Amino acid sequence: MNEDVAFIEGAVDRHHAWFARCLPMIASENIISPLAREMLLTDFGDRYAEGLPHERYYQGNTFVDEVEDRVVALAKKIFRVRHADPRLTSGTVANMAVYFALLEPGDIMTSVALSHGAHISSAKFGAAGMRGVNNVNYPFDVDRMNIDVDGTATLIKLVKPKVAAFGQSVFLFPTPLADLRDAFQEAGCTVWYDGAHVLGLIAGGQFQDPLHEGADVVTGSTHKTLPGPQHGILLSDSDDEKFIKRLQRAVFPGVVSNHHLHAMAALGITLAEFVEFGREYAAQIVRNSKALAQALHERGIKVLAEKHGFTESHTVALDVAALGGGAKLSADLEKANIITNKNLLPWDTSPVKPSGVRLGTQELTRLGMRESQMDEVAELFARVAVKHEPSEKVAADVGAMRTEFNTVHYCFTEGAEAHRRWRIA
């Protein structure tokens, strides 16, 4: 075997073996079902489909169009919307489409600050800045880990943004969109909600329903609380055909050429599974997050927003400055096979050495863990963070725990092997 091929295969195999012994708690990750994963291996991954279904610039899309039509129909059903575009190749690319559709260089956009949990694509050095957007940040209530509603309403009325953007990467609580409707109307702005992190919770009826609370457009990635492939989607319930056309043109030819047809098919399987299991899955995610936050708090770890129930989402935010800081602790946890990430908190100035750690429960939930396991997870976490036990000892116990949780739940039970229809002639 070629040396490079052997090296790459070996590294991937070692990664698989390692993660089977880990507690994966990155809030922006998840695992797809066996049936959805099979779609990533099909001939769809070798083909091109530019444009909308039945209006392609390439031939050979007969069945691609059929699949994409079904994906769109499923998304419309789950999110109760008039328009769904699954052609985005990631959540950030979906955000870029909104920038191209709705904002010109120099236009004002209001949004959450990066240190308050916003996504990097809204930052000056991210996609917003590269589009030339004049970004003004909302006042933030650190105690509640949410925007300050009165201050935000005042800001929107004052600066009259072209777009009022909401959504975070540290997204603990729903955004109070309904309370801001008067401000939106007075400013005459378009309201955009980046739902990447909470898309599955929205679909499962567990967080909020932004498109029916005041948002005009929602973007999202499809591999966080929505447990699908790494892909993106754009949603709107608008009946304004010109508005929808602007969004569609921004997608193609704006930011997407071919749109990764294998991932789009895998998204369709994920959405079909979500129709059956999504509400149960989303509810368990939130229960697990609350249980994990409480269990960590009881072990002396500072969990943010204690007075407000810690979280209403998949995310738990920790202030670990007293435990060595986010960079050090996340590295120590990795040695114990607990996979997390360092994260900026509102008072931080350095993204390299922040005081926070961000946790997500969506993947542990997908593996079948429930509230009782969250107490075990918190104890393993505390053994590293508080008790400073040897990482090898904790890693062994993490691996032992994972032997009972290595099956994907909340999906169709037929394994991929039973459905291996795709063959290269």
Task: Average pLDDT across each block of 10 residues of the chain; the chain has 425 residues. List them in order.
Answer: 95 97 98 97 97 96 98 98 98 96 96 87 80 94 96 98 96 97 97 98 97 97 98 98 98 96 98 98 98 98 97 98 97 98 93 95 98 98 97 98 96 61 38
Closest CA relative to residue 150, chosen from 140, 160, 161, 163: 140
Tell how strand 356-360 and strand 302-303 pair up: unpaired
35-273 CATH pick, 3.40.50.300, 3.30.43.10, 3.30.70.520, 3.40.640.10: 3.40.640.10
Q: Is 289 helix (H, G, I), strand (E, B) or coil?
A: helix
Cα 16 from Cα 11, distance rounded (Å): 9
Cα 293 from Cα 270, distance rounded (Å): 28
Phi, psi of 86 (to 5 degrees): -95, 20
Cα 124 from Cα 135, distance rounded (Å): 7
H or E element that contains 22: none
Cα 234 from Cα 231, distance rounded (Å): 11
pLDDT, one tens digit per residue, over 382-400 is 999 999 999 999 999 999 9
Cα 159 from Cα 277, distance rounded (Å): 43
The pLDDT assigned to 419 comes to 44
CA distances (Å), origin 31, targets 34, 38, 322, 384: 9, 13, 33, 26
Residue 147 burial (10 A CB sphere; 0-12, 13-18, 19+): buried
- Delimit the domains of the chain by residue range: 35-273
The pLDDT assigned to 414 comes to 59
The pLDDT assigned to 170 comes to 94
The pLDDT assigned to 418 comes to 43
Whole-prediction pTM:
0.95
The pLDDT assigned to 115 comes to 86
